[in-house]
Chain A
Amino acid sequence: MSDTIEIVAQDRDTYYLNMGPQHPSTHGVLRLVLHLDGERIIDADPIIGYGHRAHEKMAENRDYLQFLPNTSRIDYLSGMIYNLAYCQAIEKILAIEVPERAEYIRIIAGELNRISSHLLWLGTYLLDLGGITPFLYGFDDREKILDILDRVTGSRLTYSYGRFGGVTMDVDEVFLENTAEFIEYFEGRIPVFEELVIGNVIFQERTKGVGIFPSELIQHYALSGPSLRAMGIASDVRKDEPYSIYERFEFKVPTQQAGDCFARSLIRIEEMRQSLKIIAQALRDIPSGPVMAAKVPKRLRPPAGEYCFSVESARGRYQHFIVSDGSDVPFRHKLTTPSFVNVSTMSKVMAGNMLSDAVAILGSIDIVVPEIDR
C-alpha cells in the first residue's frame, strides 16, 4: 500500500483506517481500507481474496461430477441452493429429465436452506449491531432446519444432495412431517423476530437511512437479490427466468422503497415468509415416484459452446458460465456470485456514511466471504 502513504502525506486532514481482515463483523476474512475525514467515510476499498480457493481452476481440472462437492463450499450458508444450481445447470445443458418427486424435494430443500441462511444473517447482523439475544433465537430455529436437512442429506452445511438427474436419497414420511411441523412453528416465530428485531428502536435507529444504495448502481453493477428489492424493484430470478418448477408456485417478491439497511432487513424477513409459503405448497403437491432419472450418461460431454444458467440464491443472482469444448471436463467455469457484486459496490455505498455505520452496511448486504473469493 505504498500509494496510500503518499496520499496521506499530501492530505493531512484525512486518514486511512484498516478494518480487518481479522474483524468479527466481516464474517470471515475481508479487509476494508477506509478513507476517513474525522468519522465520516470518504471512500472504502474492500480488499478481497483472503479466502480464494481457486474453485474455477479446480473446475477446469476435473470432470463435471467431480466438481459437485465443491459447489456447496462456494457459499457454505446456502450450500443446498448452490449444489442444486450446479446440477440444474448441467441438466439443462444435457437435457436430463428430472423426476417430478425430485423436483419437489429440491424446492423444499432449497427453500429450507434459504430460510436457514436468512436466519443466520439475522442473528449475526444483530450481533454486529450489538444485540446478542436475536443471535440465540436465530440459531435455535436454524438448528431445526439443519436437523431436518441432516436427516436426509447427512450433512449440516456443505450438502452434496443433488445429482445430475435427481437427488441422492428419497425423503421419508418423517422428513415431510418434520418439515410441516417446522412451517407451523416458524410461522409463529416470524412475528417474534419482527417484534424483537424490526420493532426495536435501537435497531431502527442504527439502520434507517443508513447505507442507502444510490439508484444508478442498479444498472452499473447489475444488482440483484435483497439489495435490489429494497430499492423498489420486484426482480427475482425465480420469477424472471423460472428454473426447476418455480413457476408452479404462488409467492410474492417483496419490495421496499428506501434502499437502506432497514429496508434490506424487512425484505429478508418477508422472504422467509414467502419461502414457507413455497414449502407448504410443495408439501401439499409432492407426488410419489422415483427421485433419480432412469438414464443419466456416465460420461457427461456437453456439446461445445457457451452456457449460462442463473438461480436466485439467498443473496441474489448466482450464475454459472460454462464453456465446453465437447470433452468431459469444462474448458472454463466462471461463477458470478451476488456477494462479489454487492461488495464491489461498497466504495459507492459507504461514502458519506459514518464510520460506526460501516459495520451496519457491511452486515446488511449479507456477505459470505468464501463466496466473494471463490
Chain B
Amino acid sequence: MIGEKLQEHAGITESSSADYAVSGYHHVHKALASELPAVAALFFENGYYLETMTCIDERASAGDEKEKKDDAEDEQTAEDPGAFRLVYQFDKAGAPERHLITTRIASGESASSIAGVFAGADWYEREVFDLYGVLFAKHPDLRRILMPDDYIGHPLRKDFSDQDPRREEMASE
C-alpha cells in the first residue's frame, strides 16, 4: 500500500524492511531533506501518525567509524561525514506498522519543517532546534523549548561542553 507509493516517491532514496522483532521497525527509509514535507504528507494522507521525531549528531563520529571499520566500506561514512541525521517515526494506530525515515542535514544547512503537515511536529522540531541547533525552514514558531531563552549552545551536540570557552565569547558578543 504505502510501501509502493514510498518507493515511487522521488524523496525516498533508499528503502528496506527491518527486523521488527528486534528493532521495533517494519521499514527503514532514507529520504532527501528537501522532500520531507511531501513524504510526511504522504504518510498523513494514508492515516499514519508521527510517533516521534528527533536528531542524531553524527558530525564527528563518522570519521571515527571509518577508522574502526576500514575493511568494510560503509556507505554513510563515504557520504558527507559532517552531518546531523533527522529521524522521523511514523506508525499506524491499532496494528503497528512502523516506518523509520532518516535524512541527513549537513552542518549549517536548514531542514524543512513538517509542522504544516503534522501539528505535533511543532514541539519536536523546537526540541531539535533547541538541543542540536538545527534550523527548520517555515516552522511557525521556532524558539527554544527546554533550555532557557537566553541559553547559548546546543547541549545534545556531541562537541558540547559546559566549559566550552566559546560560550563565554558568544555571551559577550
Q: A residues within 8 Å of B by Cβ?
A: 48-49, 52, 54, 56-57, 60, 92-93, 95, 217-222, 233, 235, 240-241, 305-310, 317, 319, 321, 323, 325, 331-332, 334, 336, 340-341, 344-345, 348, 373-374
A306-B23, A319-B51 given. 10 additional CB < 8 A pairs?
A48-B146, A219-B48, A221-B49, A221-B120, A222-B52, A240-B96, A306-B28, A319-B52, A332-B54, A344-B123
Q: Are A323 and B120 in contact (CB under 8 A)?
A: no
Contacts of B48 in A (CB 8 A): 219
One digit per residue, 1 when the CB lies within 8 angstroms of any chain A CB and 0 when it does not, for chain B 119-148 equals 110110000000100000000000011111
Nearest residue, chain B, Cβ from A241 = B96
Contact of A306 among B25, B44, B119, B148 (CB under 8 A): B25
Among B5-13, B31-39, B85-93, the stretch that binds chain A is: B85-93
- In the complex, which residues of chain A have a beta carbon less than 8 angstroms from the beta carbon of B155? 54, 57
CB-based closest 10 A-B pairs? A308-B24, A221-B120, A49-B146, A222-B49, A336-B52, A220-B119, A344-B123, A334-B54, A52-B146, A332-B56
| B95: interface (CB < 8 Å) | yes
- Whether a CB of chain A sits under 8 angstroms from the CB of B105 is no
Q: Which listed residue, A219, A241, A307, A345, touches B49 by the CB 8 Å rule?
A: A219
**Cβ-defined contact, A308 with B23, below 8 A:** yes
Nearest CB of chain B from residue A1's CB, rounded to whole Å? 9
Q: A219-B44, A321-B54, A344-B122 are in contact. Are A310 and B24 (CB under 8 A)?
A: yes
Q: How far is the CA of A368 from the CA of B95 in the complex (A)?
A: 28
A316 to chain B, nearest CB (A): 12
Q: Given the complex of chains A and B, what is the CA–CA distance between A317 and B120 in angstroms?
A: 15
The complex places the Cα of A220 from the Cα of B96 at a distance, in Å, of: 17
Please state if A344 and B89 are interface contacts (CB–CB under 8 Å): no
Contacts of A54 in B (CB 8 A): 155
Contact of B100 among A220, A222, A306, A332 (CB under 8 A): A306
Q: In the assembled complex, which residues on chain B have CB atoms less than 8 Å from the CB atom of A323?
A: 56
Most chain A beta-carbon neighbours within 10 Å: one of B25, B61, B146: B146
Instruction: For the complex formed, measure the closest distance between the CB of A64 and the CB atoms of chain B, giving whole angstroms.
Output: 16
Chain B residues near A52 (CB, 8 Å)? Answer: 146-147
Minimum CB–CB distance from A330 to chain B (whole Å) comes to: 11
Q: Is the CB of B95 within 8 A of A240?
A: yes
Question: Once the chains bind, are A331 and B51 in contact (CB under 8 Å)?
Answer: no
CB neighbors of A among B10-65 (8 A): 22-25, 28, 44, 47-52, 54, 56-57, 61, 65
> Interface size for chain B: under 10, 10 to 19, 20 to 34, or 35 or more residues?
35 or more
CA distance A49 to B145 in the complex (A): 6
Provide the residues of chain B in CB contact with A325, threshold 8 Å.
Answer: 61, 65
Q: Given A54-B155, A95-B22, A222-B120: A308 and B89 within 8 A (CB)?
A: yes
Q: Which residue of A lies closest to B48 (CB)?
A: A219
B25, B91, B144, B158, most chain A CB atoms within 10 A = B91
Nearest to A323 among chain B residues (CB) is: B56
By the criterion CB–CB under 8 Å, are B118 and A305 in contact? Answer: no
Contacts of A307 in B (CB 8 A): 22-24
Q: Which residue of A lies closest to B149 (CB)?
A: A1
A222 touches B51 (CB 8 A): yes
Least Cβ–Cβ distance between A343 and chain B, in angstroms: 8
C-alpha spacing A373/B146, complex, angstroms: 7
Q: List 30 A-B contacts (CB under 8 A).
A: A54-B155, A56-B156, A93-B22, A95-B22, A218-B49, A220-B118, A220-B119, A221-B49, A221-B118, A221-B120, A222-B52, A235-B93, A235-B94, A240-B94, A240-B96, A305-B23, A306-B25, A306-B28, A307-B23, A308-B24, A308-B98, A317-B51, A319-B51, A325-B65, A331-B61, A332-B54, A334-B52, A344-B120, A344-B122, A344-B123
A29 to chain B, nearest CB (A): 13
Given contacts A219-B49, A240-B94, A344-B120, contact A308 B146 (CB under 8 A): no
Contact of B120 among A321, A334, A341 (CB under 8 A): A341
With A241-B96, A319-B51 in contact, is A221–B25 under 8 Å at CB? no
In the assembled complex, which residues on chain A have CB atoms less than 8 Å from the CB atom of B93? 218, 233, 235, 240
| Alpha-carbon gap, A235 to B93, bound state (A) | 7
Residue ID in chain B nearest A308 by CB atoms: B24
Pair B123/A49 contact, Cβ less than 8 Å: no
Interchain nearest-CB distance for A214 vs B (Å): 11
Decide: A308 and B120 in contact? CB cutoff 8 A.
Answer: no
Shortest CB-to-CB span from B51 to chain A, Å, is: 5
Q: How distant is the Cα of A219 from the Cα of B119 in the complex, in angstroms?
A: 9
Residues of A within 8 A of B120 (CB): 220-222, 341, 344-345
Q: Which residues of A contact B44 (CB under 8 A)?
A: 219
Docked CA distance A233–B98 (Å): 19
